[in-house]
Structure 1
């Protein structure tokens, strides 16, 4: 591994995503976010912006001396500078994606870490959350059930093609924040694009795939084993509104969206034309910033990093809190993710 300069860890680290083709994928990752997946992949539904998962790692980008390295390899080679620890885990625990659903995803559910340990499943459990980047007029999300059901009722509904009669659907719009704990039966529906923050896991159990052709494997029994069938346990959708000032004298706004067992998520707003000398986006264990609205410039003592919608960067633990300037027309909104696992 080449010797890397110390100042590499005093500035943001740009990332090159892994692109994942999906039968329900669309064109918005390219048209709205400026992503450039290889044409031979066909319909791309996901860009794994920050990933240390073996199914799709992301890489260091830009003109960094570490360009071309896997993000996880850099974290393990320089744990103190990257994540503020003496050592880095075999797999960085967080995965950040952008997802474009031109068609509806399957009705699915993810297991917990406890279930994976108990059953010897090789991957981790999956807790996730979504910040909605775009929603077509009338767009919805499927979350949980309308009423409490038992496994046999779900099996019968799947066999008869009427599972949707049991499911709960909710309207969504850009700016909504949706928390999906393990065991939550859910489906992202057509006309939706999100920034997803999740545990580093690729385990999904499909209950129902809407009659899609060609048919994909379902995992009904595994799904029912891990699913929570009580609608009282479905978390509410939170709408955080547009980019606004925090008060008459404050151009920025910091909102805690989630403080979970695995990661914390906050939202940082800066009004059009606003600037702050120290944006509260860096953390002692490193942080991931995702630009979910607008554009701007992140700046340090001897560097500037332009930011645009769809960008994802890692801020190393060794980096000081940067300054931030917002575009005079759009302002800027960042979703900031920090790992909180021990």
Structure 2
């Protein structure tokens, strides 16, 4: 069996009622004849949207097929034991040219009970934000379910939601149960559990091309919402040159921010996990024993668990990456 190598996948482009053009203008990705692109799915194990390899001798194979063949060599033994052939993360870029719906995701327990699916804990890294752009993150103050319903039914939902102005580099963590929405003018990289279960709470009474409003999930959302309020909704961190800084660590993924201007060795032998690199700025190569793979802004690459030692080598520019593993 030929040895594994850093894998790239065919980008899946999704037009959305709120989508824009930044996937093309900021990330250099061509979404063809679609009128807009609200989301790109970069690595996905979601059924009917499973990623397909685009580089090397494994090109044309799906991620699920690769896990069936390579098992722990691809994802790590502990990951394979936990998830089997279902890849545990979904990596996206999201361009909000208009406000996204106010929504919430159920946790593992509720999602399994209702949908036979995983819950959806996620995080956002803000890649670009227009002046004054905001995100909804939770509530302004702690509420009971009854207080929330009273405001909701009185049409006063927006009065109790917390909105935060954001800028490039901001990191926002959304555990399952936290009400949230991306506001217009924001481009984010999103890392989340493999799940497509979303409860839409409010959608600004928008209508689609046929004049229909999108379905709301008012009752389903009630049991999913976490009404507590944390000290801060933003993740505070300070990037370090040529070093990784951990910004999110949860049961479902760990994410580091890396800023590089020189070659850096990475060794994930102890983690027993695949590693994903999302390139936010610059160009680099991932150098390993059998060769190298070029990476540029907007690329997402999966480094198999079997490649325990490799190097990140910037190419004539400073590089900024998200580094994700289980």
TM-score (ref. length: structure 2): 0.90
1:334 aligns with 2:321: yes
TM-aligned CA deviation for residue 156 of structure 1: 4.2
Alpha-carbon distance between aligned partners in 2 of 1:135 and 1:290, rounded to the nearest angstrom: 18
Q: CA deviation at 1:43?
A: 2.4
Rounded to whole Å, the distance in 2 between the matches of 1:80 and 1:155 is: 46
Query: Structure 1 unaligned runs (5+)?
Result: 246-251
Residue of structure 1 equivalent to 2:214: 216
> Is 137-146 or 119-128 further displaced after alignment?
119-128
Tell me, in whole angstroms, the C-alpha distance in 2 between the residues paired with 1:134 and 1:55.
Answer: 30
Asked if 2 retains the 8 angstrom alpha-carbon contact of 1:279 and 1:323, the reply is yes
CA distance in 1, matches of 2:320, 2:32: 28
- 1:60-99 equivalences under 5 Å are 60-62=53-55, 64-85=56-77, 89-99=84-94
Equivalent residue, structure 2, for 1:258: 248
Is 1:145 matched up with 2:128? no
- Counterpart-to-counterpart distance in 1, 2:267 and 2:182: 31
Contact 1:15 1:49 in 2 (8 A): yes
C-alpha RMSD of matched pairs (Å):
2.0
Give the equivalent residue in structure 2 for 1:225: 223
Aligned counterparts of 2:218 and 2:255: Cα–Cα separation in 1: 31
Structure 1 position 111, deviation (Å)? 0.3
For residue 188 of structure 1, report the CA deviation from its aligned partner.
Answer: 0.5
| Consecutive aligned runs of 4 or more in structure 1 exceeding 6 Å deviation | none
The aligned length equals: 318
The residue aligned with 2:305 is 317
Q: SS of 2:72's equivalent? A: helix
Establish whether residue 51 from structure 1 lines up as the match of residue 44 from structure 2: yes
Partner of 1:298: 286
Q: CA deviation at 1:197?
A: 0.7
Q: Which residue number in structure 2 is paired with residue 248 of structure 1?
A: none
Is the contact between residue 127 and residue 188 of structure 2 (CA under 8 Å) also seen in structure 1? Answer: yes
1:116 is matched with which residue: 98, 111, 116? Answer: 111
Contact 1:263-1:337 at 8 Å conserved across structures: yes
The residue aligned with 1:249 is none
Distance in structure 2 (CA, Å) of the matches to 1:333 and 1:106: 30
* Maintained 8 Å contact 1:18/1:57: no
Tell me, which stretches of 5 or more residues in structure 2 are unaligned? none
Give the deviation of 1:131 after TM superposition: 1.0
Query: Using the alignment, how far apart are the partners of 2:119 and 2:290 within structure 1?
Result: 41
Q: Tell me the distance in 2 between the aligned counterparts of 1:133 and 1:211.
A: 28
For residue 269 of structure 1, give the secondary structure of its aligned residue in structure 2: strand
Tell me if the contact between 2:268 and 2:305 (Cα under 8 Å) persists in the aligned partners: no
- Determine if contact 2:267/2:308 at 8 Å carries over to the other structure: no
CA offset at residue 152 of structure 1?
A: 4.0
Q: CA deviation at 1:281?
A: 6.6
Secondary structure (helix, strand or coil) at the match of 2:204 reads coil
- 1:213 to partner: Cα distance: 1.9
TM-score normalised per structure 1: 0.86
